[in-house]
């Protein structure tokens, strides 16, 4: 299949990791030669409950037997989407009570950006250096990396950038600003958490000038950092929450959540202010609902913190400078990009899946399924230490 994959399927990376996948279960992906690959990446933070979790599979099967796509978003009441939106509202502060379901993280960001413009009547958007919010043109406009977006200009006008965690930069948020979009924990930048009540201070500045705060929780969301969403640990409530990835238990999904009053802006003047054919798809929403219920009803969130401690205890080596991140959103920071490349490729050959972070070449991503066992963590960390030992 490799030749056909390279020839017929559009490629994004000049060096794809490449595996011919046969099937996947729990923390393992099996290739067509029968080799088991322990998954420390979880489809880039998407497979919260591991591969093919029975509760997610059952929800999908049950829903496909009832109905699949029946109508564009927002016209018919479909119970998986309604139930999901109701259950997630119960987990969130009162002001985040209305959910718009879309098909991906970047669409959640696009919807959020449109919404802040409609609510404030302003146009300026502020994002952070090294931020990643997706690859459509609006999300790319707020990407904090000029190299990656230069070739696609012109993008959205009226965008300014601030340095994450730099309080002096908050004065760039003014009466002209419609919205400030930040990742709660910067992902592609190298799993950088907010410090010194930074997010609270951003929100305060937004309130002073009448701007809105959007938090992108597409990576830390769904229990990965020990709470359902990362912001719940940082003394702040965003005006809009953008979510995706791990919410679907392996299915493609995203959503943005705001107050009912704010969301009304997409209903009128103009009507149909944000529309989508497949957003709220019943099968995807059923998988999301099953995933959310399992995260809430199990002890996976608390366990994510205990498993983080195990990773930190095991990942000690002279070539490891630090382990960044929270819960099961971790990045091993090594001496240089060569070490990171060596570890990722060596471990891949051994049967452990690791991955890069987009804007931080010294980082090795560890975002396993929340369901990963202690034995699997130990097995994977041994591979990592062996790979580090073999670096010269």
**Which stretches of the chain bind ligand PLP, using CB under 6 A?**
44, 104-106, 109, 132-134, 183, 187, 216, 218-219, 244-245, 254
Q: Which is nearer to ligand PLP, 133 or 326 (CB)?
A: 133
Sorted by sequence, the CB contacts under 8 Å of residue 385 that are 6+ apart come out as 314, 315, 317
Q: Min. distance of Cβ 162 from ligand PLP in angstroms?
A: 16
Q: Which is nearer to ligand PLP, 105 or 368 (CB)?
A: 105
Q: Min. distance of Cβ 166 from ligand PLP in angstroms?
A: 19
What long-range pairs does 44-47 form, CB within 8 A, spacing at least 24?
A: 44/245, 44/355, 44/365, 44/367, 45/219, 45/224, 45/245, 45/246, 45/329, 45/367, 46/245, 46/246, 46/248, 46/250, 47/246, 47/249, 47/250, 47/369
Q: Which is nearer to ligand PLP, 59 or 192 (CB)?
A: 192
Report whether 100 contacts 249 (CB < 8 A). no
Q: Min. distance of Cβ 359 from ligand PLP in angstroms?
A: 11
Report whether 321 contacts 335 (CB < 8 A). yes
Report whether 250 contacts 43 (CB < 8 A). yes
- Which residue sits closest to ligand PLP, CB atoms considered? 105
Q: Which is nearer to ligand PLP, 226 or 254 (CB)?
A: 254
**What are the structure tokens assigned to 6, written together?**
């390279």
Q: Min. distance of Cβ 160 from ligand PLP in angstroms?
A: 19
Closest CA to 185 of 220, 213, 229: 220
Q: Which is nearer to ligand PLP, 216 or 303 (CB)?
A: 216
Backbone angle region of 122, left / alpha / beta, with phi > 0 → left and psi within -120 to 50 → alpha: beta
Q: Min. distance of Cβ 347 from ligand PLP in angstroms?
A: 21
Q: Which is nearer to ligand PLP, 26 or 105 (CB)?
A: 105
Q: Min. distance of Cβ 116 from ligand PLP in angstroms?
A: 16
Q: Which is nearer to ligand PLP, 109 or 330 (CB)?
A: 109
Query: 231 in helix, strand or coil?
Result: helix
Q: Min. distance of Cβ 103 from ligand PLP in angstroms?
A: 8
Report whether 109 contacts 139 (CB < 8 A). yes
Q: Min. distance of Cβ 253 from ligand PLP in angstroms?
A: 8
Q: Which is nearer to ligand PLP, 113 or 387 (CB)?
A: 113
Measured from the Cβ of residue 135, the count of other Cβ atoms closer than 10 Å reads: 16
Residue 246, Cα to own-chain centre: how many angstroms? 7
């Amino acid at each position: 299949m490799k030749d056909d994959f390279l020839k017929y399927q559009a490629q994004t990376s000049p060096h794809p990791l490449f595996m011919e996948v046969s099937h996947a279960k729990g923390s393992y992906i099996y290739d067509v030669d029968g080799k088991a690959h322990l998954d420390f990446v979880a489809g880039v933070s998407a497979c919260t409950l591991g591969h093919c979790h029975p509760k997610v599979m059952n929800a999908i099967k049950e829903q496909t037997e009832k109905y699949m796509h029946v109508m564009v978003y927002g016209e018919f009441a479909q119970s998986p989407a309604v139930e999901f939106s109701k259950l997630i509202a119960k987990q969130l502060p009162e002001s985040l009570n209305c959910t718009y379901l879309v098909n991906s993280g970047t669409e959640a960001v696009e919807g959020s950006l449109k919404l802040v413009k409609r609510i404030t009547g302003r146009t300026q958007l502020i994002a952070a250096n090294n931020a990643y919010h997706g690859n459509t043109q609006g999300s790319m406009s707020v990407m904090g990396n000029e190299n990656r977006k230069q070739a696609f200009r012109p993008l959205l006008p009226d965008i300014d950038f601030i340095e994450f965690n730099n309080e002096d930069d908050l004065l760039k948020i003014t009466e002209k600003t419609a919205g400030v979009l930040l990742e709660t924990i910067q992902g592609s930048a190298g799993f950088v958490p907010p410090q010194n009540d930074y997010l609270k201070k951003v929100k305060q500045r937004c309130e002073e000038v009448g701007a809105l705060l959007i938090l992108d929780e597409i990576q830390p969301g769904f229990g990965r950092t020990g709470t359902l969403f990362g912001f719940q640990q940082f003394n702040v409530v965003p005006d809009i929450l953008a979510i995706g990835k791990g919410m679907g238990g392996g299915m493609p999904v995203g959503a943005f959540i705001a107050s009912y009053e704010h969301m009304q802006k997409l209903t009128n003047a103009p009507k149909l202010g944000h529309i989508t054919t497949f957003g709220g798809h019943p099968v995807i929403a059923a998988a999301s609902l099953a995933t959310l219920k399992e995260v809430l009803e199990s002890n996976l969130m608390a366990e994510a913190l205990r498993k983080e401690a195990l990773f930190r205890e095991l990942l000690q080596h002279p070539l490891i400078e630090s382990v960044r991140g929270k819960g099961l959103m971790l990045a091993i920071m090594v001496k240089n990009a060569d070490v990171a490349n060596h570890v990722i490729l060596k471990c891949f050959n051994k049967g452990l899946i690791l991955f890069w972070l987009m804007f931080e070449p010294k980082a090795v991503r560890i975002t396993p399924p929340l369901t990963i066992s202690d034995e699997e963590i130990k097995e994977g960390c041994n591979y990592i230490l062996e790979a580090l030992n073999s670096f010269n």
